[in-house]
Amino acid sequence: MSPVILFSLVIAYFLLLLGVAWLTSRNANNESFFIGNRGSNWMLVAFGMIGTSLSGVTFVSVPGTVGSDAFTYFQIVIGNLIGYGVVAFVLLPVYYRMQLTSIYNYLQSRLGFRSYKTGASFFILSRVLGATARLYLVVNILHLTILKDFGLPFWVGAFVILLMILLYTFEGGVKTIVWTDTLQTACMLIGLLVCVWYILNDLGLSLPQGVQALSDKGYSNIFVMDPDSRFFFVKQIVAGAFISITMTGMDQEMMQKNISVRTLKDSQKNMMTFAVIFMLVVLLFLFLGGLLYLFAESKGIAATGDALFPTVALEYMPGAVSIIFIIALISALFPSADGAITALTASFCIDILGIQRNSALSDAKRKRIRQIVHLAFAGVFLLFVMVFKWMDNPSMIGLILKIAGYTYGPLLGLFAFGILTKRAVNDRLVPWVVVISPVICFIIDHYQQQLFGGFQIGLELLFINGLITFLGLWLVKGKTAQA
């Protein structure tokens, strides 16, 4: 497939997004940018959240893990469903009752101002690292398949993609993203289905025969029964539950879309509908991963891991399917990056700079500050994408989940302490607690063999981090409880 044709399709797709952004951002203000004027349709939000949650990493990395880990990733997804139930029926009622624009305002009302600032800061750190890791993976694929043939360096491709994202989110924010994410999720799922259909057809298999072929190879095994393994099903399901509670329910990017829905009931319907669809889509990605390994075996393809799907799609599939793959890949990229930049902008403006607390600022001044912050985060994204390029990790999904264990753990501890207890804390000491907790977890993780022998700590590090934070908050008791 000609790089010129692929590049032209990328530009055409971006122009379509820009058209949607123009239509949805007319008469937009800061309230539109931050929470869509609380008027988003719950069905659109639920569908669009699929694209945000999956991202380019899921699109490429999850199928790539099947060769080594079979379907064990689905254990995490089962836990995710439990976690999404907690988000829907425990966290969302709190956020709606308090009419929050930033969910971290809850920490201020319950624990104190420093706790609030600390929680927002950890979200910013978490989302910058997670979103830029996802962004790097897709930019790298686009660089290798398209931009490299034009003689462009990697950083130019990253810059251009970030510029595209800025252009269509700059005015409308969440109000625009609800619609663009819906479009992009549809394109991504169409690409997934087309690739599954093509490989089944090429291998001469029906759908039931494909399922049987994966079973015969051991690719469809889900549950691991060895308690010492880091893939032990209890560990994975518990970790999956806490991952979805933290990375969705305590994440401003995901929650700003949920709280943009008109009512709590609709928001809860959105969350649980999304949860069920998410499970089915991930299962389909794992099925695709198994088919990719069968296809690679039949064609003598040596690529594995993150490189497998792009190699098969761009070198062994017809041009039309390659085009669909590129569009689907871009569709997986943009929802995870556009929402992240928008949420980071909202959190930094509201939580760190306090533009809504400052009554002396005019609406025009607030908008100007928001736009400057938006541009600054695009620059931060470019910097971190270059850092991940330098690291060149072969499996980005493992890296992202590892990062989440360290950065989302303190958020889990803060919110759990606030919701589950009535105990006051010494607000001045809270930042120390949430910094020390990840340090302790790093030591535990680094020396786990010496500490636990054959028992392996995996994704449950997130829960351990949250528990240490919770216990630390319990120890730094304050004089009076917050409202």
The pTM assigned to this predicted structure is: 0.77
The answer, yes or no, to whether residue 26 has pLDDT greater than 70, is no
* 3-state secondary structure at position 70: coil
The torsion of the CA quartet 313, 319, 325, 329, rounded to 10 degrees, works out to 110
Query: 193-209, pLDDT tens digit by residue?
Result: 999 999 999 999 999 99
In single-letter form, the type of residue at position 48 comes to G
DSSP state for residue 229 in the 8-state scheme: S
Query: 372-393, pLDDT tens digit by residue?
Result: 888 899 899 999 889 888 877 6
Choice between 159 and 183, residue whose per-residue pLDDT is larger: 159
Please give the structure tokens belonging to residue 262.
């008109």
Q: Identify which of 140, 286, 111, 287 has the alpha carbon closest to the alpha carbon of residue 208.
A: 287
* CA distance to 78, 93, 123, 295, 429, per residue, from 241 (Å): 8, 19, 18, 33, 29
Query: 247-259, pLDDT tens digit by residue?
Result: 888 888 778 777 7
**Distance of alpha carbon 464 from alpha carbon 470, whole angstroms:** 10
Please give the structure tokens belonging to residue 115.
């706790």
Choice between 124 and 342, residue whose per-residue pLDDT is larger: 124
Q: Identify which of 361, 475, 393, 363 has the alpha carbon closest to the alpha carbon of residue 429.
A: 475
| Interval 281-291 mean pLDDT | 93
The answer, yes or no, to whether residue 482 has pLDDT greater than 60, is no
DSSP state for residue 456 in the 8-state scheme: -
**Per-residue model confidence (pLDDT) at position 32:** 46
**Per-residue model confidence (pLDDT) at position 51:** 62
Locate tokens 């004027």: which residue?
A: 37
| Interval 398-417 mean pLDDT | 85
Choice between 136 and 395, residue whose per-residue pLDDT is larger: 136
**Per-residue model confidence (pLDDT) at position 36:** 46
**Distance of alpha carbon 53 from alpha carbon 329, whole angstroms:** 14
| Interval 228-237 mean pLDDT | 87
Give the helix ranges, DSSP H, for 38-173.
Answer: 42-69, 73-86, 92-97, 105-110, 113-145, 154-169
DSSP state for residue 27 in the 8-state scheme: T
Burial class of residue 113 (count of CB atoms within 10 Å of its CB; 0-12, 13-18, 19+): middle
Categorize the per-residue pLDDT at 83 as very low, low, confident or very high, splitting at 50, 70 and 90: very high
**Per-residue model confidence (pLDDT) at position 168:** 65
The answer, yes or no, to whether residue 37 has pLDDT greater than 50, is no
Q: Identify which of 427, 401, 440 has the alpha carbon closest to the alpha carbon of residue 481.
A: 427
Taking all residues of the chain, what is their mean pLDDT, rounded to a whole number? 82
